[in-house]
Amino acid sequence: VWDKCLSFIKDNIAEDAYNTWFLPIRPGKLINNVLTIQVPSKFFYEWLEEHYIKILKSALQKELGADAKLVYSILMDQKSEGREPFTVRIPSSNKEKLKPQEIEAPLNLQAGKMMNPFIIPGLQKLKIDSQLNHNYTFNNFIEGESNRLARAAGRAIAKRPGGTSFNPLFIYGGVGLGKTHLVHAIGLEVKELHPEKTVLYVSTEKFTQQFIEAVKNNNQNDFIHFYQMIDVLIMDDIQFLSGKTKTQEVFFHIFNHLHQRGNQIILTSDKSPAEIQDMEDRLISRFKWGLSADLQNPDYNTRLSILKQKLENDGIEFPDEVMDYIAQNIDTNVRELEGSLNSIIAQATLNKREITLDLTARTLSKLVQTARKEISIDYIQKTVCEYFKVKIEDIQSKTRKRDVVQARQLAMFFAKQYTKASLASIGTQIGKRDHATVLHACKTVKNLQETDKAFRGYIEDISRKIAD
Ligand code: ADP
Ligand code: MG
């Protein structure tokens, strides 16, 4: 390709100039429509940009199509031992946008060493921090039945971002099943295979905050332009766009722009596209354009492999029967699996004890109990009644006897504190009262808590019983 470009350029400029400025250029790799060329110095690159950008552009576009891109990699001059960050001026080849842009390129340069390719004329290209977590790789993402499709799709995308029919890739599944891990792994592998691509990982919450901030500062256009430059955009937990009309709208535009240009979009969600609530139909339909792949609860073998890997990383060994016991019993998700493992290790270390089946069983049963124990309003009423030795029927009745009123009010107060039930629903469940009564009860209890020492004692006692 470069040879063809050269012959085109040779035909169009003076021979002297050609010999001076084009012969020393060495072609580098060509990936898709991005050609890397090596130039001898920074000065060389600046000269090319200033004088020959048009002819370079035409030559490239002729060979590689309209969206051809060029990346320079600069072989540093021996004498310029510039180690400190420096600023590169990137002139735009586009006449309308002829505003030179100052861009910080904080690269650690060493004499004679090749610099990262980082400049693409005609399109101002920033080096951005991808926000990828280097601990989340494919290497330590255990493959299993539960994640096979999503993982394979991710791998395919990493090889050819934007070049597969998996655009967007929509990964969904419950908490702790590996969505975040997997998308980081994809991002990291893209960076490895295609260092010239701009990859960005962003949580949907952060995206939303940035957008709100941009609106406040009246620079929404900068926000949009920034996102439209990304080659591989990874947005985690897209379900958080639910109900956020304005953010959905701006994301819709960014999505379209990226998709039209064949840039890769990767999304995760705790629900399938069809199940997401309060999301514009046009977005939902776009989520389904590419591939939706779900992550399921890991099966026994996958759980066992994950445990083994984690222990190996930590340099710890567990007896086989213990591993088997954990893998058998913790079947919810990977995060809990890791959590249980950590608890057992902590138990053993704290008590300086060997990791035995017995210790494991006891640690896990405690964990499972606390996780499963959901505090219900019934349970709260029962606890409060036992404490004050009144009958549940009494709290439920209309009676206004002093000790019953007090128990009733406390039950309401604790229901508000320990459950997610609304005031109205608490009222219905505790003696068929309305929400104003519950609100009043909560206020009364808080007042007494501050002013009455004995009462404060009751509250503490009951709290302890409820949480026990
Ligand atoms: P999600 O984003 O779906 O809630 P995460 O990606 O945060 O889940 O995963 C939770 C934890 O489980 C992380 O520590 C992750 O490294 C680990 N994990 C999930 N799936 C795997 C897997 N297949 N192999 C190894 N570790 C995994
Ligand atoms: Mg996550």
- Residue 174 CA to ligand 1 center (angstroms) comes to 11
Looking at per-residue confidence, does 21 or 321 come out higher?
321
Domain with CATH 1.10.1750.10 in the chain: 377-467
What pLDDT sits at residue 23?
Answer: 86
Residue 254 clears pLDDT 70, i.e. is over it: yes
Domain with CATH 1.10.8.60 in the chain: 300-372
Average of per-residue pLDDT across 320-337? 92
Q: How confident is the model at residue 78 (pLDDT cuts 50, 70, 90)?
A: very low
Q: Which of 142, 172, 181 to mutate for ligand 1's pocket (most ligand atoms within 8 Å of CB)?
A: 181
457 is in an annotated binding site: no
With a Cβ cut-off of 6 Å, ligand 1 is lined by 140-142, 147, 173, 175-181, 306, 334-335, 338
Domain with CATH 3.40.50.300 in the chain: 145-294
Q: How confident is the model at residue 465 (pLDDT cuts 50, 70, 90)?
A: confident
CA distances from 416 to 397, 408, 411 (A): 20, 12, 9
What pLDDT sits at residue 69?
Answer: 82
Helix 245-260 with 204-216: angle, nearest 10 deg: 110
398 is in an annotated binding site: no
- Mean pLDDT computed over every residue of the chain: 84
Q: What is the pLDDT of residues 266-285, one digit of tens each?
A: 999 999 999 999 999 999 99
176 is in an annotated binding site: yes
Q: Are strands 199-203 and 291-294 parallel, antiparallel or unpaired?
A: unpaired
- Residue 237 CA to ligand 2 center (angstroms) comes to 7
Q: What is the pLDDT of residues 352-381, one digit of tens each?
A: 788 899 989 988 887 776 555 668 899 999
Query: Which residues touch 114 (CB under 8 Å, ≥6 apart)?
Result: 38, 73, 74, 75, 76
Query: Which residues touch 71 (CB under 8 Å, ≥6 apart)?
Result: 28, 34, 35, 36, 37, 117, 118, 119, 120, 196
**Residue 291, beta-bridge partner list:** 169
**Residue 235, beta-bridge partner list:** 202, 267
- Hey, what are 70's tokens? 């060029």
What pLDDT sits at residue 109?
Answer: 26
The CATH homologous superfamily of the domain defined by 377-467:
DnaA protein, C-terminal DNA-binding domain (1.10.1750.10)
What pLDDT sits at residue 52?
Answer: 83
428 is in an annotated binding site: no
- Residue 165 CA to ligand 2 center (angstroms) comes to 24
Residue whose Cα lies nearest atom 14 of ligand 1: it is 335
| Spatial distance between the Cα atoms of 468 and 465, rounded to a whole number of angstroms | 5
- What DSSP character marks residue 135? T
- Residue 464 CA to ligand 2 center (angstroms) comes to 33
Average of per-residue pLDDT across 378-393? 93
The arrangement of secondary structure in 300-372, i.e. its CATH architecture, is Orthogonal Bundle (1.10)
Ligand whose nearest atom lies closest to the CA of 179: 1
Least confident of 206-210, 288-292, 420-424: 420-424
Backbone CA torsion sign across 89, 91, 92, 98 = positive
The 3-state DSSP class for residue 268 equals strand
Average of per-residue pLDDT across 44-69? 82
The arrangement of secondary structure in 2-105, i.e. its CATH architecture, is 2-Layer Sandwich (3.30)
- Residue 175 CA to ligand 2 center (angstroms) comes to 7
Q: Which amino acid does the sequence have at 398?
A: K
Residue 350 clears pLDDT 50, i.e. is over it: yes
Query: Which residues touch 185 (CB under 8 Å, ≥6 apart)?
Result: 136, 137, 138, 141, 154
Residue whose Cα lies nearest atom 20 of ligand 1: it is 178
Residue 82 clears pLDDT 60, i.e. is over it: no
Instruction: Tell me which of 3.40.50.720, 3.40.50.300, 3.30.565.10, 3.90.180.10 is the CATH number of domain 145-294.
Output: 3.40.50.300
Ligand whose nearest atom lies closest to the CA of 183: 1
